[in-house]
Amino acid sequence: MSNDYNFAYLDEQTKRMIRRGLLKSIAIPGYQVPFASREMPMPYGWGTGGVQVTSACLVPEDKIKVIDQGADDTTNAVSIRQFFEKTAKVETTTHTEKASLIQTRHRIPEHDLDENQILVYQVPIPEPLRFLEPRESETRKMHALTEYGLMHVKLYEDIAHHGHIATSYAYPVKVEGRYVMDPSPIPKFDNPKMSMCPALQLFGAGREQRLYAIPPYCEVISLDFEDHPFTRLKANAECELCSANNSYLDEVIIDDEGNRMFVCSDTHYCEARQADGHRGKRNRLDQEGYDATHI
């Protein structure tokens, strides 16, 4: 198919249109820029927004990494990586620090990003106010007038009913003191990584036709109350493969009895630590004959 389609699939006109939208979104951090999202050869809701942003940003020298849930080898990540291998013939990598562009769904890599990198998020519902106010015409007005009281009403209700803010992912943030923004469904553990990040962070929502951005070194604040401050949340455990105790963990069911183990959700981070000689509980057992290498 690579011969039949333009570099990185989209035609240049469309890429220019998307780049204009991206420039606007960078100029107004956190503001949702409408764009004429194209139909892509993968379903809406599966990363079409991210794919269009990546396509508009890619140059032949790029080295691209695609993750889904933090992992390079989940099916949708593989599928999107193959798409760009075919249509753009760019080099791919699983190494966070070696990638010039990382497309992600639901996670921010554990390894710090740098100024030469772009992080592209796939966004299902770009509107942080959507579940409080279903009308687009109304939510756009609320953004324009900074009418964000309703967002805090939601957090207030959480505390009143649960004693805590009960939002654990897609946790709303305020960018540079102005726009309230949906960070895409990343766990709130990742929220602090967005703030003052040296890399350019771009967000694409294909079905909802929106682009937005966090330019490098922007202040990103997770919404909270003074007396109920934002907290990160992760499993109270360490990775059983690499013993990391500061990374976001997946809980994997390992047998029919329902026993579980905790492993890093960021597969590259975990592998790199293991290569550096870090060993978790499960790896130490290996030396006694337990095989967990298939995980």
Partner 1 sequence: MQPIFEATGISKSYGHILGCSNINLSLYSGEVMGIVGESGSGKSTLLNCLSAQIMPDQGEVIFRSPSRGEVDILKLSEAEQRYLARTEWAYVHQNPRDGLRMSVSAGGNVGERLMNIGNRHYGNIRTKAEDWMSRVELDTSRIDHRPSTFSGGMQQRLQIARNLVTEPRLIFMDEPTGGLDVSVQARLLDLLRSLVQELSLSVIIVTHDLAVIRMLADRMVVMKNGNVVEAGLADQVLDDPQHPYTQLLVSSILQV
Partner 2 sequence: MYVAVKGGEKAIANAHRWLDEERRGPVKIKALSIDQIKGQMSLAVSRVMAEGSLYDPELAALAIKQSQGDLIEAIFLIRAYRTTLPRFGTSLPIDTDSMQCKRRISATFKDIPGGQILGPTFDYTHRLLNFKLLADGEVMEAVNQSPEPSSMPHILELLNNDGLIQQEKATSERPHDLTREPLTLPADRAVRLQALTRGDEGFLLGLGYSTQRGYARNHAFVGELRIGFVEVEMTIPELGFSIVIGRIEISECETVNQFQGSKTEPAQFTRGYGLVFGQQERKSIAMALVDRALRWKELGEDNLGAAAQDEEFVLYHCDNIQATGFVEHIKLPHYVDFQSELELVRKLRHDAAELEKASE
Catalytic positions are 30, 239, 242, 264, 270
Residues 217-256 that bind partner 1 (CB under 8 A): 224-228
- 138 is a contact residue toward partner 1 (CB under 8 A): no
C-beta neighbour count of 73 within 10 angstroms? 11
Interacting residue with partner 1 among 135, 141, 178, 284 (CB under 8 A): 141
Residue with Cβ nearer partner 2 (9 or 218): 9
- 276 is a contact residue toward partner 2 (CB under 8 A): no
Q: How far is the CB of 136 from partner 1 (least distance, A)?
A: 16
Q: Count the alpha carbons within 13 Å of 111 in the hemisphere toward its beta carbon.
A: 19
Give 213's strand partners.
202
Give 212's strand partners.
203
Between the alpha carbon of residue 93 and those of residues 100, 117, 147, 154, 225, the distances in Å are 10, 13, 43, 40, 41
- 230 is a contact residue toward partner 2 (CB under 8 A): no
Taking the C-alpha atoms of residue 204 and residue 54, their distance in angstroms, rounded to an integer, is 9
- 149 is a contact residue toward partner 1 (CB under 8 A): yes
- 246 is a contact residue toward partner 2 (CB under 8 A): no
- 295 is a contact residue toward partner 1 (CB under 8 A): no
Helix residue spans in 146-208 (DSSP H): 149-162, 191-194
- 164 is a contact residue toward partner 2 (CB under 8 A): yes
For residue 127, with 0-12 CB atoms within 10 Å meaning exposed, 13-18 middle and 19 or more buried, which class applies? buried
Residues found near partner 2 in the complex (CB under 8 A): 5-6, 9, 11, 14, 34-41, 43-46, 48, 68-71, 73-76, 78-79, 82, 105-107, 124, 135-137, 162-164, 166, 168-170, 185-189, 207, 209, 233-235, 248-256, 265, 294-295
